[in-house]
């Protein structure tokens, strides 16, 4: 009986991926949904040869840009709540270098993505080779080593037998609730094609499950003791609630104890906008309602959040004597700012904490006050998104789409002003439907991420739409996946909101006392004659349907037409770079300002910003 099979390294990697499955709610699905690839001399002869026979089982989407491939893979993993991933393959040299930003995005957002990238020859016989970076005192050092800073797992395959240890370790990292993130395998061009007699057992079909770590009983007891004495408790619900599948448990816990809930950016769509205990988004891009109760809360239960500065208002959003309880599967996150840590899975922790709090109810006047704040905020948002005789704005476009979309349509945006505007103004229609990439706040994610999300969505909800909000700046940085979506028949609805440059950074520039400089196109000193890009014509050139609208009323009609179409549609509307921003709901945010300046306005703003530092928690 044959106990080994002779395969190349590339063939072994592909065969292993083919046979890894995950069980979710009793259903087994292949963990790897396929890949995104651009071939070159560093990956096509061997990895390409291995992928060709299995293209039906592991579909390979041809990318237009390696960075956008990585963004698409990240959005795919986010849609699947980190239970499935895509691989990205790039050639040695600049193709692989283009993946660095995407790897950083996946790392910051704790998302699984496998990178299979070409590398220089292990033998070094042909050195130096095309696209090789030579380090004269360290010949083993190369471009791929740069990925060590932006991955959770990194390895260079130097012998065929190595993958027997490496692949399970990489997969375990990508599936680990606490350490989840991108994995990178450097594949030297010669080693990819080297053959080895692999044990057949290595390729046996395996079914994996996401580990649920039970919280420590003593930590639950400490957290319960703190909450039992709370007069003004509050819950911060982060993205980890969704990754744990704990949305129902969060809702039940809040309802059982009457505790108001606020959401982080990553935690948007944990609760419907209409839920009476959903007090709104918190922080720099948040709501007056959430921030009002945050600064008064005496005990704060942070669930599944890494407490990024946009959530904490650079740690000014909370009273200095407020007690933090942090429920997180990651120890690193659970202990931040002297929190009472509850290290464990959110679903299990909420159940245990709820049992320990049996009979506890937040004071009704506190809950009622929080709900009153939310009603006031809802009224503000209603006015903010309304359109009429005033300049076009992001908020108006968001309001139009919110009113006309299906409750299961997926919203994707990132970077610039749109994350703040979507977070503040979007009213959640169904859980898990909002992807605001603000972990790395990466320009260019929007359309590429939309494509990746649509690939995932078409597997599970093919009759729903993926809707992308993108500014003109991000569009110009990365737009080629409009073409990808057309080629692959993965329909997107893309709203390009053109404000003439990097308007939100221009706003920040002005808010710190500076004159407008090099952000809006008209304020660039090296641009003699500014002109507007014809985004409609550009999108049409990539095969999309496209149209330009003059106002939100026309946007509504265009959006309905896009919904009815089976093709990618790009809708362009100009928005005012100065008027129409959401002006309420913002906490203080620490940015570096000039202590010394010839400008009186810069000095004044520096003093004004520094004065708010008095509210900042100093790590306790």
- What pLDDT score was predicted for residue 620? 54
In the chain, the domains with their CATH numbers are 4-208 (3.40.50.970), 217-376 (3.40.50.1220), 386-574 (3.40.50.970)
Q: For residue 600, is pLDDT > 60?
A: yes
- What pLDDT score was predicted for residue 1? 62
Q: For residue 442, is pLDDT > 80?
A: yes
Asked if residue 45 lies in contact with residue 231, where contact means CB atoms within 8 angstroms, the answer is no
Mind listing the pLDDT tens digit for each residue in 446-478? 999 999 999 999 999 999 999 999 999 999 999
Listed residue (261, 219, 218, 216) closest to 238, CA to CA: 261
What are 102's strand-pairing partners? Answer: none
What are 469's strand-pairing partners? Answer: 495
In angstroms, the Cα distances linking 377 to 32, 267, 270, 380 are 42, 19, 18, 5
CA distance 518 to 395: 25
Mean per-residue pLDDT, 314-331: 96
Mind listing the pLDDT tens digit for each residue in 392-418? 999 999 999 999 999 999 999 999 999
- What pLDDT score was predicted for residue 157? 98
Asked if residue 423 lies in contact with residue 377, where contact means CB atoms within 8 angstroms, the answer is no
Q: For residue 618, is pLDDT > 90?
A: no
Asked if residue 286 lies in contact with residue 424, where contact means CB atoms within 8 angstroms, the answer is yes
- What pLDDT score was predicted for residue 19? 98
- Report the alpha-carbon angle 395-400-405, nearest 5: 125
CA distance 516 to 527: 14
Binned at pLDDT 50, 70 and 90, residue 388 comes out as confident
Asked if residue 449 lies in contact with residue 75, where contact means CB atoms within 8 angstroms, the answer is yes
Structure tokens at 236: 């911060």
Mean per-residue pLDDT, 149-172: 98
CA distance 59 to 261: 41
* E strand or H helix at 483: helix 481-488
Mapping DSSP to helix (H, G, I), strand (E, B) and coil, where does residue 266 land? coil
Mean per-residue pLDDT, 369-375: 98
Mind listing the pLDDT tens digit for each residue in 537-573? 999 999 999 999 999 999 999 999 999 999 999 999 9
- 35 burial (CB, 10 Å; 0-12 / 13-18 / 19+) is buried
Mean per-residue pLDDT, 114-140: 94
Mean per-residue pLDDT, 367-371: 98
What are 234's strand-pairing partners? Answer: 300
- What pLDDT score was predicted for residue 244? 97
Q: For residue 220, is pLDDT > 60?
A: yes
Q: For residue 284, is pLDDT > 80?
A: yes
Structure tokens at 328: 């997180």
Asked if residue 438 lies in contact with residue 427, where contact means CB atoms within 8 angstroms, the answer is no
CA distance 262 to 286: 9
Average pLDDT of the chain is: 96
Helix-strand-coil percent breakdown of the chain, rounded to 5? 40, 20, 40
- What pLDDT score was predicted for residue 617? 87
Between β-strands 545-549 and 153-156, what pairing exists: parallel, antiparallel or unpaired? Answer: unpaired
- What pLDDT score was predicted for residue 560? 98
- What pLDDT score was predicted for residue 389? 82
pTM of this prediction?
0.97
Mean per-residue pLDDT, 151-162: 98
- 63 burial (CB, 10 Å; 0-12 / 13-18 / 19+) is buried
DSSP code per residue over 293-316? HHTT-SEEEEES----HHHHTTTT
- What pLDDT score was predicted for residue 619? 66
Mean per-residue pLDDT, 11-37: 97
Give the full edge-to-edge strand order of the sheet including 182-188. Answer: 60-62, 32-37, 85-90, 113-119, 182-188, 153-156
CA distance 345 to 328: 7
């Amino acid at each position: 009986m044959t106990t080994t099979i002779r395969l190349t390294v590339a063939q072994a990697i592909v065969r292993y991926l083919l046979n890894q499955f995950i069980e979710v709610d009793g259903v087994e699905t292949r963990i790897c949904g396929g890949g995104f690839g651009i071939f070159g001399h560093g990956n096509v002869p061997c990895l390409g040869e291995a992928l060709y026979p299995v293209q039906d089982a592991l579909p390979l989407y041809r990318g237009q840009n390696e960075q956008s491939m990585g963004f698409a893979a990240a959005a795919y993993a986010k849609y699947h709540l980190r239970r499935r991933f895509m691989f990205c393959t790039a050639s040695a040299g600049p193709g692989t270098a283009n993946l660095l930003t995407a790897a950083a995005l996946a790392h910051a957002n704790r998302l699984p993505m496998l990178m299979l990238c070409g590398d220089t020859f292990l033998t070094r016989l042909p050195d130096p080779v095309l696209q090789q970076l030579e380090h004269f005192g360290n010949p083993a050092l190369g471009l791929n080593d740069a990925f060590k800073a932006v991955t959770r797992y990194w390895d260079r395959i130097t012998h065929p037998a190595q993958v027997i240890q490496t692949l399970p370790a990489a997969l375990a990292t990508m599936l680990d609730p606490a350490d989840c993130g991108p994995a990178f395998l450097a594949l030297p061009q010669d080693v990819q094609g080297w053959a080895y007699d692999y044990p057949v057992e290595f390729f046996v079909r395996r079914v994996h499950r996401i580990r649920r770590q039970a919280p420590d009983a003593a930590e639950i007891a400490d957290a319960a003791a703190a909450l039992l004495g709370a007069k003004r408790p509050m819950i911060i619900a982060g993205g980890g609630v969704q990754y744990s599948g704990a949305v129902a448990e969060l809702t039940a816990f809040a309802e059982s104890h009457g505790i108001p809930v606020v959401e982080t950016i990553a935690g948007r769509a944990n609760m419907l906008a209409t839920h009476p205990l959903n007090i709104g988004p918190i922080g720099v891009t948040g709501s007056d309602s959430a921030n009002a109760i945050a600064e008064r809360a005496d005990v704060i239960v942070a669930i599944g959040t890494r407490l990024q500065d946009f959530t904490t208002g650079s740690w000014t959003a909370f009273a200095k004597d407020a007690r933090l309880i942090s429920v997180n599967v990651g120890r690193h996150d659970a202990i931040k700012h002297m929190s009472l840590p509850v290290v464990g899975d959110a679903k299990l922790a909420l159940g245990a904490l709820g049992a320990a709090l049996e009979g506890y109810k937040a004071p009704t006047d506190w809950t009622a006050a929080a709900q009153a704040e939310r009603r006031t905020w809802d009224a503000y948002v209603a006015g903010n998104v309304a359109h009429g005789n005033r300049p076009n704005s992001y908020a108006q476009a968001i309001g139009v789409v919110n009113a006309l979309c299906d409750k299961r349509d997926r919203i994707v945006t990132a970077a610039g002003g749109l994350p703040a505007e979507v977070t503040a103004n979007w009213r959640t229609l169904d859980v898990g439907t909002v992807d605001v990439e603000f972990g790395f706040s990466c320009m260019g994610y929007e359309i590429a991420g939309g494509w990746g999300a649509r690939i995932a969505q078409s597997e599970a909800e093919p009759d729903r739409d993926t809707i992308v909000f993108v500014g003109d700046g991000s569009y110009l940085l990365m737009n080629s996946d409009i073409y990808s979506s057309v080629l692959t028949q993965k329909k997107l609805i893309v709203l390009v909101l053109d404000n003439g440059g990097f308007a939100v950074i221009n706003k920040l520039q002005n808010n710190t006392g500076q004159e407008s400089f090099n952000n809006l196109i008209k304020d660039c000193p090296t641009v003699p004659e500014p002109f507007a890009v014809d985004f409609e014509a550009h999108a049409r050139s990539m095969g999309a349907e496209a149209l330009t609208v003059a106002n939100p009323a026309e946007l509504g009609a265009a959006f309905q037409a896009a919904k009815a179409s089976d093709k990618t549609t790009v809708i362009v509307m100009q928005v005012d770079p100065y008027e129409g921003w959401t002006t309420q709901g913002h906490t203080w945010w620490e940015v570096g300002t000039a202590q010394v300046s010839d400008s009186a306005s810069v000095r004044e703003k520096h003093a004004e910003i520094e004065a708010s530092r008095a509210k900042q928690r100093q790590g306790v």
